[in-house]
Structure formats: C-alpha cells, structure tokens
Chains A and B, each alone.
Chain A
Amino acid sequence: MNEALERALVDAGIAARVEVRERLAILIPRGNDANLKSEAQRRVVLALAAERGFTHVALELLD
C-alpha cells in the first residue's frame, strides 16, 4: 500500500487502493469511476506515480 499515492489519486478524483511491488504500482479501483479511459487522466496518474518513484502503473481489472 502507498498512502501518499492513494491520497494524491483521490485529490485527482480517482478512488483506488494502491498495491506496491517494488517500482510497480497496481491500482485497485474502488467502485466504477476509475476506468481511466481518458489519456489526460492516465497522464495525471502516471505523473503522480512517477513523482513517488514508480516506473510502472497498472490498473487491476476486476470482475
């Protein structure tokens, strides 16, 4: 878990839990709003994660 990135994502309007595997952040969406279809939104997420040392960000696909 990375609380700093989670808080930054919430501030950006994205509700997701963050699981950390070294420099990979896995976003586990809370609800249906974190679909990140917009490229601009994805860029924001990548930038927020990069500021916190992550090189990779992936959105978990849930059932």
Chain B
Amino acid sequence: MSETETAAHKERALEEWLNQQGSVLVGYSGGVDSAYLACVAREVLGSDNMLAVVGRSAAYPQQQWDHALAVAARFDLPLVDVPTDELDNPLYAANPNNRCFHCKTVLWRTLMPLAVNRGLAVVVDGTNADDIADYRPGHRAATEHGVRSPLVEIGLTKSEIRTLSRQRGIPGWANPSSPCLASRLPYGFAVTIERLAQVERAEAALRALGISGDMRVRHHGDLARVELGHDELARWLAPAARRALRRAVVSSGFQRVALDLRGFRSGSLNVLSGVTTT
C-alpha cells in the first residue's frame, strides 16, 4: 500500500472514530495537526456537533491566530477563543522543564467545562503519532484531563497529515511546526509577557527579511540565538546578510545576536538543559 493509500485508509478510520463520538470540542491552534482534525470533524459531524476552541495568551503568536481564523473561515468551523491565564501561574512562569504540563493543565481545565456546557461529548487535541516519541509533558496534562488524541489513536503521522491536508486544500499544510513562544526561553528563565513579545517581534522581523521554513529566535537574556533551517544558514552568514539579520533582531529589543552554527533543531532547548540528548 502506498503512503497516500495508507493515509486515506487512516482518514476513513478517523472519520469512523469521530462518528462514534457523536460530538467533539477540538483544542485548536491553527497549526497543521489541529487544523486538519477540526476540518475533518466539521465535515463528519457538522457545525452543530463540533466546536474549535483556541486558548489565547501572550505565548500564542498573533500571526498564528490570524491563520487560525483564516482556516476557520474557509472551512466554516465554529470557533471561539478563550483567554488562558498560564502566565499568572507561578509554576508556569518560573519555566520549569515541565512548563508545558502547567500550560496545558490551564487549557484543559478551561476547555473541559466548556465542552460540558455546550453538550459536546469528547474533548480532543491534535497530538499526532510522531509526537509521542518526543519529550511532551503537555500530553500528560491532556491524558490526566481525559482529553483524547484521535490522530495518535488512529496512528496518523505528521507526513500523512500533511498529505491529507494538502488534498483537502487546508492552507498551511506545509507550514513548519509552530510551538508556543515560551518554547524559545530556556528552562529556568522566567516567562514574561515582555520576553515573549521580544521573540515574537524578532521572528516576525526575520520573516519580513524573507527567511522561510523552520526558524527560531531563542531568548538568552541580552542575547538572541537565531536558529535557521540548514538551507538558509550559509546565505545568512555572508557579511551583508549578517548585518541585516542583526539589525532586524536588535530592533526587536535584543542587545546581542548570535547565529547558531548547527541551525534549527526541534527541541533545541531540551538538549541545552539536558532534558533530552539529541
């Protein structure tokens, strides 16, 4: 069976899974996985039996919210956003290596009652089958709150989700992963609204320079460490390009800028703090 056929087979299994639930509340970010899940749920269950909910805070980039709205409009997804107050939780703001657990705990504590109030049977998230191999303390919070992860249960991988999203015409199917802005702060370095805003401004400024694909601005206090995709790295090491890149990041509120010589690594700060090794 080809990868496309395998993906199609799994999508039918997902549709069946959703039908069995009857109604769902989707924890939606506008990212590739939750957008796909929300679009399939909308098609299978109809607009009365599904709701996409975005938890919004300073850690959620404006650009992603704009994208989430665009996808919802195009696919007629019932959508609400709810403020989440994870930065008010000292356990989260101190930025321990299980920060995601505290963030997701706030999110699911907010969304579970919403599902009950709306009469929706199940709360689901967009965790995919590949995610389970990563260090994901946030997933534990989902499990503890009874949140289901149908993409994991069906075994849908990121690659298959991208293929199926492209077939459905979901905008952003090829977008790089976009974890929350707090993921740019090393563990133990407190999460504040100002630091998140610095990262958001710097990444937007780099995108405006024409940098595409995977890219992160890691916040090391006075210094921003920029991770670029391997295809981009050599280009931005040229003298004129370096000056432009530096100016863009400094204008976002950093005093110093450094370019990571290995380039983009998902979970880079997990490695730096010793939580993972690769």
Where the two chains meet, the residues of A that have a C-beta atom closer than 8 Å to any C-beta of B are 21-24, 26-27, 32, 35-37, 39, 42, 45-46, 55-63
Contacts and interface: CB of A to CB of B under 8 A. Distances in A.
A39 B234 contact: yes
B237 interface: yes
Given A61-B245, A63-B246, A26 B237 contact: no
Interface residues of B, number: 24
Contacts of B1: none
B258 A58 contact: yes
A40 B233 CA distance: 13
Contacts of A60: 223, 256-258
Interface in B189-248: 220, 223, 225-226, 233-234, 237-239, 242-243, 245-246
Contacts, number: 63
Interface of B: 220, 223, 225-226, 233-234, 237-239, 242-243, 245-246, 256-262, 268, 271-272, 274
A6 B139 CA distance: 42
Contacts of B234: 37, 39
Given A24-B220, A55-B272, A56-B268, A61 B238 contact: no
